[in-house]
Amino acid sequence: MSRPIYTIAVTGLNAIDSPGPGVAVIRGLREAASFDVRIIGLAYESLEPGIYMHDLVDITYLIPYPTAGADALLERLLYINSHEKLDIIIPNFDAELYSFMKLEAKLRDSGIHMFLPTFQQFEERHKVNLSTFGKKYGIDVPEGIAVSDSSEIHKHADKLDFPMMIKGKWYDAYVAYNIEQARTYFNKIAAKWGLPVILQKFVHGTEYNVTGLGDGEGNVIAAVPMRKQFITDKGKAWAGISIDDKKLLELTTRFVSATKWRGGFELEMMKSGDGKYFLMEINPRIPAWVYLAVGVGQNIPEALALLALGQKPEPYKTFDVGKLFIRYSWDMIVDRSEFENFSVKGEL
């Protein structure tokens, strides 16, 4: 029996030193057991490496930044759809998710499917609301406060103590060891990602991550825990190993069933010295290291694509423990004319 061919658009082609998940997601899709794919890249900048990986990406289109608003994005996506006839879009950036969620119904009318968290899930798990989220679902989270003015840092310094995490609403996190550093980071983050900025209690310990997929009805379709083996100066895992940790999987199940999580996710956990897990952050999308999950037997991008199309994929129950992913850089040689074409026409 011949397998269906789906046209799937993917963002996050910035496979750089702090990578977007797009290229890893595409590798998962290309290895899918149940379908073949035609991959449409969606890029924000003309130097995103994925644009030039012609063995992975069939054609890439430039799309407007989220700051341009959902209407501008819709117009561009409909234009792309008129040329490519998209079945599925998998957005991979936190900052763009809101716009895509807003367009979910409209895109469905044009035959384009997505499988995204609901607005409630998206808002609840937001860094700004994480403290409330922890209380509501009985999950330990480090104390956090959202502030809109750097003068407020002083007020909360006693309670949170130094070192203190300073985090942006969308991206960026810094450890501040004193109030001056905290103010500097506050200003840096506020200028880039806007207000509020989150002050979070620093938890000492070892970092563990889980990537997974919820079906929107409370069931875990996939979940793979990983311990970071090597962390870059940007805080990204350069190598990690799949582990068998019942407690982490239990927490993941509780998270998915309590929130009825819809879509891919990454839980960033910190295991403190006394063995207690703190949920540091919930990323409402597939992480860049998702290819480890594919490699150990849980093809999350494939299952997500099937869910998007309204199918009910079998939940993955097992995975290989003790497999490593080791990330590496790769220099492509690209002719100037390709860069020129994409820069001028917005398509390649």
Partner 1 sequence: MEKKHYERPHIVRLDAGMPGKSGLRSELPPTTHIDGVAVAELIEKYGSPLFVLSEKTIRNTYQKAYKAFSTRYPKVQFAWSYKTNYLSAVCNIFHQEGSWAEVVSGFEYEKAIASGVDPKKIIFNGPAKTREELVLATENGSLIHIDHLDELYMLVEVAESTSQKPRVAIRVNMDTGIYPMWDRFGFNYENGQAWDALNKIMHSGKLELMGLHTHIGTFIMSANAYAVAASKLAELARSLQQKFNHQLKYIDLGGGFASKNTLKGSYLPGSDTNPTFNEYAEAISSALINSHFTPGELPLLILETGRALIDESGYILSTVIANKRMSGGRRATIIDAGVNLLFTSFWYQHQVTVAQGTSQYREDTSLYGPLCMNIDCIRESINLPLLNVNDHVVIHKTGAYNLTQWMQFIHLRPNVVLIDEKGEVHIVREKEKLTDVSGSELIPEHLVKINQNS
Partner 2 sequence: MKINHNLAVSESGFLFNPGTGESFTVNPIGAEIIAMLRNGKSRTEIIDSITQLYQVDRNSFEKDLQDFNGILKTYNLLEKDE
**Counting contacts by CB under 8 A, is residue 75 touching partner 1?**
yes
In one-letter notation, the amino acid at residue 3 is R
- Quick check: 204 and 215 in contact, CB under 8 A? no
Please tell me what DSSP assigns to residue 67.
G
Give 225's contacts (C-beta < 8 A, 6+ positions apart).
208, 209, 210, 242, 243, 244, 245, 248, 249, 252
Partner whose footprint covers residue 336, from partner 2, partner 1, none (CB < 5 to 8 Å by kind):
partner 2
Tell me how many residues contact partner 1 (CB under 8 A).
Answer: 34
**Counting contacts by CB under 8 A, is residue 344 touching partner 2?**
yes
Minimum CB–partner distance for residue 15 and partner 1 (Å): 14
Which residue among 343, 346, 347, 348 contacts partner 2 (CB under 8 A)? 343
Task: Pinpoint the alpha helices (H) of the chain.
Answer: 22-30, 70-84, 94-109, 119-124, 130-137, 152-160, 179-193, 246-259, 290-295, 300-308, 336-345
**Counting contacts by CB under 8 A, is residue 235 touching partner 1?**
no
Which residue among 123, 257, 339, 346 contacts partner 2 (CB under 8 A)? 339
Region of 14-22, 50-58, 225-233, 335-343 interacting with partner 2 (CB under 8 A): 335-343
**Counting contacts by CB under 8 A, is residue 102 touching partner 1?**
yes
Region of 23-31, 73-81, 158-166, 266-274 interacting with partner 1 (CB under 8 A): 73-81
**Counting contacts by CB under 8 A, is residue 340 touching partner 2?**
yes
Window 198-217: residues binding partner 2 (CB under 8 A): none
**Counting contacts by CB under 8 A, is residue 64 touching partner 1?**
yes
CA distance 101 to 89: 11
Q: Which is nearer to partner 1, 106 or 312 (CB)?
A: 106
Window 312-331: residues binding partner 1 (CB under 8 A): none
CA distance 114 to 92: 12
In one-letter notation, the amino acid at residue 250 is E
Minimum CB–partner distance for residue 112 and partner 1 (Å): 19
CA distance 249 to 247: 5
The DSSP bridge partners found for residue 267 are: 210, 282
Region of 59-67, 201-209, 284-292, 314-322 interacting with partner 1 (CB under 8 A): 59-67
Minimum CB–partner distance for residue 333 and partner 2 (Å): 15
In one-letter notation, the amino acid at residue 326 is I
**Counting contacts by CB under 8 A, is residue 336 touching partner 2?**
yes
CA distance 164 to 175: 6
CA distance 175 to 197: 13
Q: Which is nearer to partner 1, 48 or 302 (CB)?
A: 48
Minimum CB–partner distance for residue 70 and partner 1 (Å): 5
Q: Which is nearer to partner 1, 37 or 146 (CB)?
A: 146
Tally of CA atoms within 13 A in the half-sphere of 271 that contains its CB: 14
Region of 93-101, 107-115, 200-208, 245-253 interacting with partner 1 (CB under 8 A): 93-101
Angle formed by the axes of helices 94-109 and 70-84, nearest 10° = 60
Which strands, in side-by-side order, build the sheet including 144-147? 144-147, 197-201, 164-167, 173-176
Region of 65-73, 104-112, 217-225, 251-259 interacting with partner 1 (CB under 8 A): 65-73
CA distance 165 to 127: 12
- Residue 222, classified by CB atoms within 10 Å of its CB into exposed (0-12), middle (13-18) or buried (19+), is buried
**Counting contacts by CB under 8 A, is residue 65 touching partner 1?**
yes
Region of 66-74, 288-296, 298-306, 308-316 interacting with partner 1 (CB under 8 A): 66-74
How large is the C-alpha radius of gyration of the chain?
Answer: 20
Site residues for partner 1 per CB under 8 A:
44-47, 62, 64-72, 75-76, 79, 95, 98-99, 102, 148, 169-170, 190, 193-195, 342-347
